[in-house]
Amino acid sequence: MGRGLDDIPCRLAIFRVDELRSHSSYVRLRLDVPASELSALAEQGEGAFREPVVITRDRVVINGYGRLDLALRQGRLTILCIEYELTDEESLRWLIQSHCRSKGLNASCRIRLALELEPHFKTKALSNQRTGGQYKGPSKLTEAERVDVRHEIAAVAATSTGNVSKVKELVNAPSEIMQALLEGEVSIHRAWLWRRQPTSEQLEELRIYRTKRSINKTINALVFRHVPRVPPVIPDIRTLIKGLSALEADEPGSVAVGVIKVPGRRVFLSEGLLEDFGLQGELPLT
């Protein structure tokens, strides 16, 4: 996996904001800092800039894009940085690995970035062939070596080799689907299942998927508005049977019975029925 940052020469210094630039791979994938991250940093005030931005000697930003973006928005002229002596390959590795946290880049983004290291891993595999006396000509790898290259890419991206293979197959997917992947709107597996369909059908699948998600969000929001903030006290099954018997004896036919399709053995109560149980002092609720 190469050198750790602790083993690499570095220095802490203040740099002009306009001296720093985004990594070419970051720009190529049109990655951006989420608005939520910017808002969280802005709320920290000066505390947001206590942690240095990680850069290379060429002033390429490895980690700290949120702080840099905020500094630009606030019109700051300088920012604290920690500068490392990194090769191009190391800088891309550390860009990916520094964004593997829960609020960092999703698996699709990390794989797309890590795939730019594929030529490096292939060269390494071919070099191993020469060393082992198995060299078979330029750019020819055995199946085992191709698998090993995928393992290397997966390790850098902190994901599975299966996901690496799927993302490689999606390179020619419609741009709208690729963007949905990078933004985490669609899973790698879902986009991969659409890949063999004509472009128009893939885009229709995406439209339907978005519509369903929008409907589900609306339903969840409406349901949430009616969910009690304090969990209700629920009667156990024996208390429930006793309560229903008492209600039926007092008001025959007052309780409607229906069927809903859910797994397992479950009984659902309306809030009105719960309130009726609560008014019956002789029925202990659990």
CA distance 94 to 41: 22
Amino acid letter, 48: A
Mean pLDDT of 258-286: 64
DSSP state of 255: S
CA distance 43 to 253: 58
Mean pLDDT of 84-104: 81
Tell me, yes or no, whether 285 lies in a domain. no
DSSP state of 230: S
Tell me, yes or no, whether 230 lies in a domain. no
Quick one: pLDDT at residue 283? 43
Give the model confidence (pLDDT) of 113-159 as tens digits.
999 998 888 888 777 766 655 555 555 667 667 768 889 999 999 89
Mean pLDDT of 235-248: 80
Note the pTM of the prediction, 2 decimals. 0.65
C-beta atoms surrounding 242 within 10 Å: 17
Nearest to 156, CA basis, from 89, 103, 85: 89
Statement to judge: residues 131 and 165 lie in one domain? yes
Quick one: pLDDT at residue 261? 67
- Sequence-separated (6 or more) residues with CB below 8 Å from residue 174: 199, 202, 203
Quick one: pLDDT at residue 17? 96
Statement to judge: residues 1 and 98 lie in one domain? yes
Mean pLDDT of 68-77: 95
Give the model confidence (pLDDT) of 184-231 as tens digits.
899 999 999 999 999 999 999 999 999 998 888 888 777 777 666 666
Nearest to 27, CA basis, from 58, 65, 82, 83: 65
Range of the domain at 158: 106-195
Q: Which two tokens stand for residue 142?
A: 């055995």
Measured CA to CA in angstroms, residue 100 lies from 95, 106, 172, 241 at distances of: 9, 8, 25, 52
From 138, 170, 195, the end of a domain falls on: 195
Amino acid letter, 164: V
Question: Residue 277: is it exposed, middle or buried by C-beta count within 10 angstroms (0-12/13-18/19+)?
Answer: buried
- Sequence-separated (6 or more) residues with CB below 8 Å from residue 68: 17, 20, 53, 61, 79
From 132, 162, 195, the end of a domain falls on: 195
Tell me, yes or no, whether 226 lies in a domain. no
Tell me, yes or no, whether 92 lies in a domain. yes
From 195, 221, 252, the end of a domain falls on: 195
Domain count, the chain: 3
Tell me, yes or no, whether 86 lies in a domain. yes
Nearest to 15, CA basis, from 63, 54, 69, 73: 54
Statement to judge: residues 21 and 64 lie in one domain? yes
C-beta atoms surrounding 224 within 10 Å: 8
Tell me, yes or no, whether 207 lies in a domain. no
Tell me, yes or no, whether 34 lies in a domain. yes
Tell me, yes or no, whether 136 lies in a domain. yes
Burial 150-179 (b: 16+ CB within 10 A, else e): bebbbebbbbebebbbbbeebeebbeebbe
- Sequence-separated (6 or more) residues with CB below 8 Å from residue 229: none
Statement to judge: residues 5 and 97 lie in one domain? yes
Statement to judge: residues 73 and 118 lie in one domain? no
